[in-house]
Amino acid sequence: MSKSVLVINCGSSSIKFALLLEEQNFRIHGLAENLGTENARIKGVTVGNEPVDIHIPFADHKKALEVGLERLANYKPDAIGHRVVHGGSLTKAELITNEIIEKIREATPLAPLHNPAHLIGIEATKRLFPDLPQVAVFDTAFHQTMPAHAYRYALPKFLYTEYGVRRYGFHGTSHAYVSDRGSELAGSFKQGGWLTAHLGNGSSTCAVWNGQSVDTSMGLTPLEGVVMGTRSGDVDPSLHSFLAANLGWDIYKIDKMLNKESGLLGLSDNLSNDMRTLIEASEQGNEDATLAIEVFCYRLAKSLAALSCGLPRIDGLFFTGGIGENSAYIREKTMAYLPHFGFNLDKDANSSLKRGTEGRIDNGTGPQIWVVPTDEEGRIAKETHSVVENEVEQATAKKSEPEAALA
């Protein structure tokens, strides 16, 4: 029985960790950031909401994990759950074994920034907590229920069969939690057709039917889809050859531009990738900021409209993520592009909803509109607990088989 779960999220330059104690009633959490630089540090909150701030200059992932986890070791987690961005064809959370580690390694070409960092996190926690069960929870797993007509690209078949080139989708842990929680709030748990919009520095949308993902905006990588903080989202695939032929750019320069210099940052002429900054600048008359916001909302609405094709009916829409949970302005602008779906936003309910809280923001007619704060840590802990419980049950059953035979 895993009463406390340590959740690890190793990113390319940062690590988030949280210890969820006694059915999530209490959490210790921290963030190791600026790894590899002089300003590397761990910030967080420990028992009694006491703040923690540890300077660890030039620390890499291994060092940061060692420092952070040594402080958590006193609280003795019962299990460890790792967020893993890309699980390839794996369809559910898995107990970490050498075989699963190899599958994560095999998926590295599909997530070259993230999966190597996840493997470092797994290695560090196995060393520090060798006797604890550890579980990998995959961002891509929730979307493995998509039908082939939603996940296949119109490319030569061998690229799919031999190299795994297909649409995988991401933010699955968030879309799964929000669609479950939102449909529960709406009185139809895991029933009906729902659209989810996870909006942050990385953003994606998802269509969910009866609790299962049927389509999503991200694809082979997290670059496909809607406009994001620094990522372009969808562009004409011929853009690469245009830039190579006319500007002499190589594939690495193009990839860096699309992933790190585009999106809101690029549209705003390098003003910011932070929506709050752009809204403030737009109010002061900055035309680039105004256009960035407009493109973001239009492309978001366009994506939601497209994903609706995967649903027999639309029961409602859930907003989540830093922008989705906190910006009434972005929610209102996005809904203004979707009147033909019968959505009726209650502007007063939308603007008066306290930031970061869940609540219904439609006027009671048409499909429902909700704000549902995501809880990826809670979802990872829940899936980790479920996998560990299942393993214990299977081990108990196997142990009892010989005893039954002797009886």
Residues annotated as catalytic are 139
> Taking the CB of residue 3, how many other CB atoms lie within 10 A of it?
13
Rounded-to-integer distance, Cα 357 and Cα 340, Å: 28
Tokens, residue 374: 């995501």
Residue 31: DSSP 8-state: E
Q: Answer yes or no: are the C-beta atoms of 310 and 303 closer than 8 Å.
A: no
Helix (H, G, I), strand (E, B) or coil at 143: helix
**How many angstroms separate the CA atoms of 40 and 58, rounded?**
6
Where do the H-state alpha helices sit in 171-327? 172-185, 239-247, 251-260, 263-267, 275-283, 287-307, 321-326
Nearest Cα to 190, choosing from 235, 145, 149, 228? Answer: 145
Closest by CA position to 61, among listed 29, 123, 122, 15: 15
The 3-state secondary structure of 32-91 reads EECCCCCCCEEEEEEHHHEEEEEECCCCCHHHHHHHHHHHHHHHCCCEEEEEECCCCCCC
